[in-house]
Every structure is written in structure tokens, then in C-alpha cells.
Amino acid sequence: MSFRLMTYNDIPTYQKLLHSAYQTNTQLGIHFAAATATQAQIIEHIESNAVYLFEKNSKLLSTLSIRFPWGNNPGPYGLPHLGWFATDPDYKGKGYGNALWDFVEQQILIHQLKLPAVTLGTAANHPWLAQTYINKGYKKIGYANLTPDHTTLYFEKILNDKSYTEWKKRSNTQ
């Protein structure tokens, strides 16, 4: 098992994973951008975001991206924003997505980047994603109507209380 950053060589496999993993959402009538991402869009995505992969026996099983406030698609709250989370449908329920999520949260967001908090968004009408994020310690903080097929529900997770309090004071976002 290994966790690593995505490279350009991973694009075809990554695209296939995204499209197959997001197919269930499309069938629910929820159209996330990852479900139909072209190779050109993926190149743009990896050039301004950190895209982490989880592999086992050289097979891509799960992925999670960190969008940065200074990137081409920042989250709405001035914090890094998680997105394009996907696990190969043939391997769902085996804990691979959670293993990647925990690695990114603990090793990258907390220990490496030392973030005060992180955000993410999902469709409010999705039958299980909001509860999944709540179970991971995320709290609802807002919503937006960005697409005609769903309202985006935003979540935040505080990773370091002291840093978060200081960041809030400096950012005047209280």
C-alpha cells in the first residue's frame, strides 16, 4: 500500500477512476465536475491542486484532492478545500478511501501544512455524503446554489483550535 502525489502519467487511470466512482452520483441526478472531467481539465486540476492517490499492488484505488486558496478553483472560505474524493467502485467498503482520507488529514493537512482548518462541499440532496462528512468530524457552515441540479452544502473541520482562533482573528471572518 502506498500514498503519493499524482503525476501526469497517472491521468488516464485517474480519469477512469473518477468517471466510474462518480457514476452513482450521476445516476442520482447529481452532476459533480469530476464525473465528466476531461484530460485537459484533469491537467488543469493537478497543476494547481495537490492530488493524492492510494495504491495497492500498483492499482489505483482511491484519490482525494486539496484545492488551495491561491489556486484556479479555490474553496469559498479562504482555507484549503477537499474535493474529487473517489474510490474504485470494485473496492468500495474495504476502507481504502478512509485510509487515504486519514493519511491526507493527519500527515498532510495537520503535520505537513499545519492548517488551522479545512473545508469541503457536497450536494445537499445526496443521500449519504453529508452524514459521512459529519461522521468524520466536519460541521456544516454554509451553502450555495452553484448548479441547477443541487445545492452545495459546505463543511469545515477545525484541525488546530489555537491556530484556528488566531486565523479567524486575522482574517476577520467571524
Q: Which fold has domain 2-171?
A: Aminopeptidase (3.40.630)
Q: Kindly provide the b/e burial profile for residues 105-137, where b requires at least 16 CB atoms within 10 angstroms of the residue's own CB.
A: beebbeeeeebbbbbbbbbbebeebbeebeeee
pTM > 0.85: yes
Alpha-carbon span 7 to 92, nearest angstrom:
24
The answer to whether the CB of 151 falls within 8 A of the CB of 145 is yes
pLDDT digits (tens, 9 = 90+) for 110-156: 999 999 999 999 988 888 899 999 999 999 999 988 777 778 999 99
Predicted pLDDT at 173? 53
Whether 65 has a pLDDT exceeding 80, the answer reads yes
Query: Among 116, 106, 126, 110, which residue's Cα sits nearest to residue 25?
Result: 126
**pLDDT for position 1:** 86
pLDDT (tens digit per residue) in 154-169? 999 999 999 999 999 9
Average pLDDT value over all residues in the chain:
93
The string of pLDDT tens digits covering residues 70-81 is 998 899 999 999
CA distances from 83 to 47, 50, 133, 155 (A): 15, 10, 12, 12
pLDDT of residue 174 exceeding 70: no
Q: Note whether 135 and 146 are within 8 A (CB).
A: no
pLDDT value at residue 124: 87
> What tens digit of pLDDT does each residue of 84-109 get?
999 999 999 999 999 999 999 999 99
Is a pLDDT exceeding 90 seen at residue 42? Answer: yes
- Domain range annotation of the chain: 2-171
Residue 54 has what pLDDT?
Answer: 98
